[in-house]
Structure formats: C-alpha cells, structure tokens
Amino acid sequence: MPMTNIKDRLNNLYNLREKLCDKQKKEMEIEEITNWIVGQLNYLKVLIKNQNVQRSEICIRIDDIICALDVEEEHDEQ
C-alpha cells in the first residue's frame, strides 16, 4: 500500500514538473518575442523620423512584423 502511494506521488511530481517546464518555456518564448517586437518598433520609429527613408522600406518593415506575428491582413495593400 505505501509503495503505490509513493509511485502516485512521484508520478504527480513528475507531471507537475513537466507542466512547470512547459510554462517556463512559453514565458521565455513570450519574452523573446516581446523583445523582438520592441526592437522592431524602435527601428520603425527611427525609419519614420528619417525623411530620407522611402515609404516602401517602412512598409517592408511593417510587413515583417505582421509576418512574424502571423497576423492575416484583412484589407488589400494600398
């Protein structure tokens, strides 16, 4: 009887550890994505402030961000 109890406890601990690892991995991925987006937006801000930058370059940067976020565009490009 006590042996089954120990096995159950170990299985529960293993499952909890696995869930915690998955959660931590997702949090790390979210942090990396957030850092990348902030970097891209800061660069986009620099591009917009520079009057020598063509609009097409700004549009390309926006397209990169949209693509990385896997967002489908609802409207046709203008």
User: Which pLDDT band, with edges at 50, 70 and 90, does 72 fall under?
Assistant: low
| pLDDT of residue 73 exceeding 80 | no
Length of the chain: 78
Both tokens of residue 45? Answer: 């801000």
**3-class SS of residue 69:** helix
Q: For residue range 39-67, what is the model confidence (pLDDT) as tens digits?
A: 999 999 999 999 998 998 899 888 888 88
User: Residue 11 above 80 pLDDT?
Assistant: yes
Q: Does the reported pTM lie above 0.85?
A: no
Alpha-helical runs (H) found in 50-77:
55-69
Q: pLDDT tier at 75 (50, 70, 90 boundaries)?
A: low
3-state helix, strand, coil in the chain (%, to 5): 80, 0, 20
List, in order, residues 6 or more apart from 59 with CB less than 8 Å away.
77
